[in-house]
Amino acid sequence: MPTSRTKTMWKLRFFAIWREGEEARWLKSMSADGWHLKNVGFLIYEFEKGEPHDYEYALDFRIEVRTDMQEYRGLIEDSGWHYLTHMGGWQYFRIDANKTAGAEIYSDTKSLMGKYWRVLGILGLSALPLLVIFLNYVLSQPTVTHTFPIYVFSILLAIIVYSVFRILLLILRKHEKSE
Amino acid sequence: MSREALSEPSFYILLSLSGPLHGYGIIKNAAELSSGRIRLGAGTLYGALDKMMKKKWISQMKQNANNSRRKVYEITDLGGDILENEVARLRQLVKHGQQALAALQEVRDANV
């Protein structure tokens, strides 16, 4: 009996949220080479070897606590997509490239931008405890003797602020285009 | 009660739910009624259903065992009022439009 072991491959990759469609295009090109997305972790992607195929990928953002996930994913699957996996709030879907007609996940700019507003909400929520911890640290010491935590905090906050800025810019541009 | 005009997708979602229907049924119904003009994205629809549930315009029906995979939605009394108001608003819109067109036609006829 022939045994076929599925070949898997891991890839490290970073994508900026505001570069719309970049990650989906990369996944599409991987599938064209026969590497189909199986799982996603933080900055890491697992692929399974198969026949090359023309797939379109879509990423949506929905967090568990505020979404009826079964209903949400079911609805998107009903419209032709196949749910693959999720990483944090990012939901990964795939569809045959020749079946995309009429299968857009968002049919208007406003609801499409809702996706980015939800990301902004999460970024804001993650900045808040960071700020509290930092202020607590600074205020609890009459003289700051350790500068390392300050560096770490500043870098993290800078990343968040920059991301928020870029996402807001993306939302503004999209709205301009749609008007 | 909201006096703001309903968006076209919202209008078609609400009227699709005059009888119990699941999410994808709404997408198909809106497309059929409008001869394919109204295409509701599944993500767009999910968000709209979520908002309408919060506003209590629609509700989820109790799941029965043999059809448990998809939630079934139905319009509420409040949702029915919203739909009725919107239809009245649209009727007035059409009436005013027709009056204006009739007046325009009279002017045109007089000029011939």
Average pLDDT for runs of 10 along chain A of length 179: 75 93 97 97 96 97 92 96 96 96 92 95 89 83 74 88 94 86
Residues 78-107 of A with CB under 8 A from B: 78-79, 81, 102, 104-107
> Measured between CB atoms, which of A79, A81, A111 is closest to B47?
A111
- A114-142 per-position pLDDT tens digit: 999 999 999 999 888 888 888 888 788 77
DSSP-assigned letter for residue A143: S
Q: What is the predicted pLDDT for the residue at B65?
A: 57
- How much is the mean pLDDT over chain A? 91
Q: What is the predicted pLDDT for the residue at A96?
A: 97
CA distance A47 to chain B (A): 26
Residues of B in contact with A79 (CB under 8 A): 24, 27, 41-42
CA distance A101 to chain B (A): 11
Helix axes B23-33 and B8-16, enclosed angle (nearest 10): 110
Neighbouring-strand partners of residue A86: A91
Low-confidence ranges of chain B (pLDDT < 50): 1-2
Q: What's the CATH fold of domain B8-111?
A: Arc Repressor Mutant, subunit A (1.10.10)
Asked if B46 and A114 come within 8 Å (Cβ–Cβ), the reply is: no
CB B61 within 8 A of CB B67: no
One-letter-per-residue 3-state SS of B3-67: CCCCCHHHHHHHHHCCCCEEHHHHHHHHHHHCCCCCCCCHHHHHHHHHHHHHCCCEEECCCCHHH
Residues of A in contact with B43 (CB under 8 A): 60, 76, 105-106, 111, 115
Asked if A75 and B39 come within 8 Å (Cβ–Cβ), the reply is: no
> Measured between CB atoms, which of B9, B23, B39 is closest to A102?
B39
Q: Where are the domains of chain B?
A: 8-111
Q: What is the sign, positive or negative, of the torsion defined by CA atoms of A30, A18, A171, A153?
A: positive
Among chain A residues, CA nearest to B28? A79
Q: What is the predicted pLDDT for the residue at B64?
A: 64
- B50-70 per-position pLDDT tens digit: 999 999 999 999 876 556 678
> Measured between CB atoms, which of A79, A102, A106 is closest to B24?
A79
